[in-house]
Structure formats: C-alpha cells, structure tokens
Amino acid sequence: MKCHEIEYQIVGDDLQFVEVILDEGETVVAEAGAMMYIEDGIEFEAKMGDGSKPATSFFDTLVKAGSRVFTGESLFMTHFTHHGKGKGHVAFGAPYPGKIVSVDMAEHGSLTCQKDSFLCAALGTSIDIAFNKKLGAGLFGGEGFILQKLTGDGMAFLHAGGTIIRKRLNNQKIRLDTGCLVAFSPGIDYSIERAGNLKSMFFGGEGMFLATLEGTGDVWLQSLPFSRLANRILANAPSAGGSQRGEGSVLGGLSRFMES
C-alpha cells in the first residue's frame, strides 16, 4: 500500500510536538495516547494493526497486532482520518523531554528503531517487530532481542531524549552507549562488544558493553536516553530512597525540618 502524502510542522525546542496537516481522506497512524489536539472534521478510531495491508485476514491482523505486546506497546493503534473539507490539523506530543525527528521513508525503504521511539506515521507505513539475531546484542544491547521495524514510502516521526543527531556512515564503524541508539537504516550491522579491559568495564562509568554500528547507511543517536534521565531523578528523590540535593542552604535545611 502506498503511503498517504502528509504535510507537517514540528513545533517547539526541547518539549516538541508535531502538527500533521491532512487533506480530505488522508490518515495518520499514531501510538495510543500520543494525541495532543485535533481540529473539527478529523475523527479517530482505535484499530488493531497499522492498516498498511487492508486486505489482510483478521487472524493475520490479530497476530501482527499481538506481536506489538512484546515491544511493550499497546495492542491497538489510533487512526486519525480527515473527513471534512479543506485541510485539518492533528498534533502529537512527545512523552518526555527530547526531540522529534521526521524521516522520509522513501529515502530508506525501511528503518530499524528502538521499541519506544515511534510516534506517528502516514497511513501505509508498516510497523512490525524485528528480532535481533545476535545473542550478545540481545542480552546486553539495552533493547533486548526486540526492536521495531518501519517500512514504507511516506513520512514517519520518531522521538528520543535530549538532542538527536543523524550520522552518515560510509563503510565505517562507530561505538556508542547502548542506550543512545535511536534508529539505523538498512546496510548497518548492529552488534555489542566489551567496553575495554576489566578495569574500564567495572570502573569506567560507561557500562560493561558498547553498541557497535558498522557499514554504510544512516544512524540516529540521542544524547539523553530516558532511562538515564529516570535513574538520575530517582537517585535524587528521597521518597524513592535517593538523597535530596540542590538545597544546601540554611533555608533548605529548615524547610526539610519543617516538613518532617
């Protein structure tokens, strides 16, 4: 199925949202709960599957939708269709601080991405799971054996933490923190290798393993994985067993005493 041709604009800096502009009859598919607002004339419906293969039998659709559960996503996806006249607008917000990046799938054909980076895409984009075939990458890659695979020729939108950078590899190799990987295009081989010697692995602060990307293609990286942000917040949250910081003045100590 050929993807719908949609227009869009990305609004904001570090807390971005994407506004998709639909012509009459056009549809955009999004993860459940991603919608920010919709204009009159646009209706939404929760469906099993991404709708990229309308002729697929109910059983096949159920199997494909059920496979999304393995990635931690909802069994359903939300389809937003413009039934009014002229142009209609629907917006989707990011679930945590970071950037939204647009990807023209016609440039790559397919894209492999981390399981929680997909935000929305034009109808016709196939959203499947991709099993990592390498044992090391599956056990220590930070994303397990299961990644998401997007296939199509329309626009798709990914979200990641911090700042997103797109790097082009020309028969090159790059090593990175396992949590900083967002997506990679065909032609890139993904594996895991040990982070230096034993001293570096245990005391270097960079983890025991690094992700290795090698080949020719495009790679998208994020500067602040959500897991890193969450760990830092929990480490400074007294209610979660962390230690409170940043209030070292006399007034800060007095405030904590009054609250106790």
User: Does residue 159 sit in helix, strand or coil?
Assistant: strand
- CA dist 131 and 133 (Å) reads 6
Burial 74-108 (b: 16+ CB within 10 A, else e): eeebbbbbbeeeeebbbbbbbeeebbbbebebeeb
Q: Is 28 or 227 the better-scoring residue by pLDDT?
A: 28
pTM: 0.79
Give residue limits of the domains in the chain.
Answer: 7-234
- The mean pLDDT of 219-227, rounded to a whole number, is 89
Quick: pLDDT tens for 25-56. Answer: 999 999 888 999 999 999 999 887 777 766 56
pLDDT at 155: 96
Q: Provide the pLDDT for residue 80.
A: 96
Confidence of residue 204 (pLDDT cuts 50, 70, 90): very low
Does position 113 have pLDDT exceeding 70, yes or no?
Answer: yes
Would you say residue 238 has pLDDT above 70? no
Task: State the virtual CA torsion across 65, 121, 225, 208 in degrees, nearest 10.
Answer: 60
Looking up tokens 């647009």, which residue turns up?
102
pLDDT of residue 134: 53
Residues 136-195 have pLDDT tens digits of 444 444 444 468 899 999 999 999 998 999 999 999 999 888 888 999 999 999 887 766
CATH number for the region 7-234 comes to 3.60.160.10
Q: Are 68 and 115 in contact (CB under 8 A)?
A: no
CA distances from 259 to 16, 206, 249, 251, 256 (A): 36, 37, 16, 12, 5
Go through 40-72 and write b for each residue having 16 or more CB atoms within 10 A of its CB, e for each that does not: ebbeeeeebbbbbeeeeeeeebeebbeebeebe
Query: Phi/psi of residue 16, each to 5°?
Result: -85, 160
Q: Count of residues for the chain?
A: 260
Q: Counting Cβ atoms within 10 Å, is residue 143 exposed (0-12), middle (13-18) or buried (19+)?
A: buried
- Tens of pLDDT, residues 59-102: 555 555 555 555 566 678 899 999 989 999 999 998 888 899 99
